[in-house]
Amino acid sequence: MSEQTTSGTASAARRHDDDIRLAEQGERWLATGLSCEPADRAGAEAGVRIAYALAGLPAPRHILWLGSPAAGALGVAMLRTGQRGGRRDEHIRQALEAQGARPGELELGRSVRPKVRTRPWAQARAALTAKLGGTGFARHWAATARRPWQQLTDQLATPLRTRIDADLAGRLSARAGQTDQVAELPQAAREALLDAIGGQHDAAWLAAFDSHPDVDGLARVAGSAGWWWAFEHVAVLTERPVAVHRDNLGRLHHGDGPALFYPDGFGLHAWSGMPITAEVAAELPHLTVERIRGEGNAEMRRVMLEHFGFDRYLRESGASKTQSDECGTLWRVTLPGDEPLVMVEVLNSSPEPDGTFRTYFLRVPPTIRTARAGVAWTFDLTEEEYVPLQQT
């Protein structure tokens, strides 16, 4: 809000400079979290040693490198259990052995994540809160870390963790009834996932603290590598992805290959933020109305619909226009075993460079009866409330 006094103007100018600096800091950390550069291994290892030193710990005796977060979790599990894994994990075991770390012959020691990661974060947060006050800290967090947190934790690290965990859970259920020994490796890898440190994905919160002395080690690793693990005697570090594809909301999204892809071949296929299997991903370019209609999994059908294009589906499936008004056109088509697909076709009010007007489709609840009510719903308003004076 506007400032009246001279000193108020000076403090407003100072706050203005601060705001720009904080916004730059947030953007810089977001870029760090999205980096697809090969790891700066020397930089990351130096960061690990600083992080241990700040925690009052001797440096780890061994620092090992693996190609992806999934390989990291399984590699840690191999070292923890001594299990060598099956054929599909062979590349991980070989990578460990090439670094002189044979499963069963290297002692990890206890996890030091609470000392290396959790405590410094809490310390940095307490220091900043003491300096800025509660509201000041909230403002600082909003200016620096809100977007990195949303983009990195919500859109990347959480889906990634969920997918790796689901893969491991799938392996366990596939082995149900077999010996405990066979289940030991995926079980230990699931536990390792809980112990991972975010590396570049820690940029989500480091954005608020930048190079605060307490988090210096973590910040250096975050600027140099992907997920990592900290144990008394061993640190396991992993590479950053080689590709990250996101949509306009920052959700993982790619129609031609994995949306997130690591140098050891591990990848995550996703469409509009929804993780999909490689098999479904391969099918997407060849979909038909019949194939989509026959898909039993409702979530997959939605992915297929989006990829196929709502407008094309409506056209090719004989959907009916149920109503038109000045807000657009309402379409409806029944889906077997699912609620009806009701879409409002909206005319964009600004012309494209060639003078035509682009239309776009938004899905609305099946209870919607008019295009106006549909558009109003997309803005959380009733049909009566929605009266735009101007649209562009």
Partner 1 sequence: MFRQGDVLVVPIAREELPEGLMDAPRDRRNRMVLALGEATGHAHVLTGERASMLCPPDEPGRLYLLIEGYGRLAHEEHGPIALAPGAYKVVRQREYFPGAIRPVAD
Window 217 to 276, contacts with partner 1 (CB under 8 A): 246-250
Q: Which is nearer to partner 1, 19 or 90 (CB)?
A: 19
Residue 20, interface with partner 1 (CB under 8 A)? yes
Residue 307, interface with partner 1 (CB under 8 A)? no
Q: Which is nearer to partner 1, 27 or 191 (CB)?
A: 27
Quote the Cα angle for 98-102-107, to 5°: 125
Strand ranges inside 272-355, DSSP E: 274-276, 320-325, 328-333, 341-347
Minimum Å gap between C-beta 240 and partner 1 is 19
Q: How many of the chain's residues bind partner 1 (CB under 8 A)?
A: 47
Q: How far apart are CA 142 and CA 148, in angstroms?
A: 10
Q: Which is nearer to partner 1, 91 or 369 (CB)?
A: 369
Options 139, 175, 233, 369; binder of partner 1; rule CB under 8 A: 139
Residue 3, interface with partner 1 (CB under 8 A)? no
Residue 132, interface with partner 1 (CB under 8 A)? no
Query: DSSP label at 118?
Result: I
Contact assessment for residue 122 and residue 94, using Cβ atoms and an 8 Å cutoff: no
The interface region with partner 1, picked from 16-24, 51-59, 123-131, 168-176 by CB under 8 A, is: 16-24
Q: How far apart are CA 351 and CA 391, in angstroms?
A: 12
In order of 125, 127, 292, 378, the CA distances from 213 in angstroms are: 12, 11, 54, 46
Options 38, 126, 381, 382; binder of partner 1; rule CB under 8 A: 381
Options 84, 146, 175, 233; binder of partner 1; rule CB under 8 A: 146
Options 143, 193, 221, 333; binder of partner 1; rule CB under 8 A: 143
Q: Which is nearer to partner 1, 142 or 169 (CB)?
A: 142
Options 339, 347, 357, 359; binder of partner 1; rule CB under 8 A: 339
Contact assessment for residue 331 and residue 320, using Cβ atoms and an 8 Å cutoff: yes
H helix runs in 38-118, sequence order: 41-54, 69-81, 90-98, 113
Full strand arrangement of the beta sheet holding 328-333: 320-325, 328-333, 341-347, 359-364
Minimum Å gap between C-beta 186 and partner 1 is 29
Query: How large is the angle between the packed helices 180-194 and 158-174, nearest 10 degrees?
Result: 170
Options 348, 357, 359, 382; binder of partner 1; rule CB under 8 A: 348
Contacts of 272 (CB under 8 A, 6+ apart): 247, 251, 253, 303, 306
Task: Give the residue among 255, 358, 264 at the shortest CA–CA distance from 307.
Answer: 255
Tell me the sheet residues that pair with 235: 63, 230
Residue 169, interface with partner 1 (CB under 8 A)? no
The interface region with partner 1, picked from 23-31, 43-51, 101-109, 221-229 by CB under 8 A, is: 23-31
**Which residues would be at the binding site for partner 1 (CB under 8 A)?**
1-2, 16, 19-20, 22-24, 26-27, 135, 138-139, 142-143, 146, 151, 246-250, 298, 302, 338-339, 342, 348-350, 360, 362-365, 377-381, 386-392
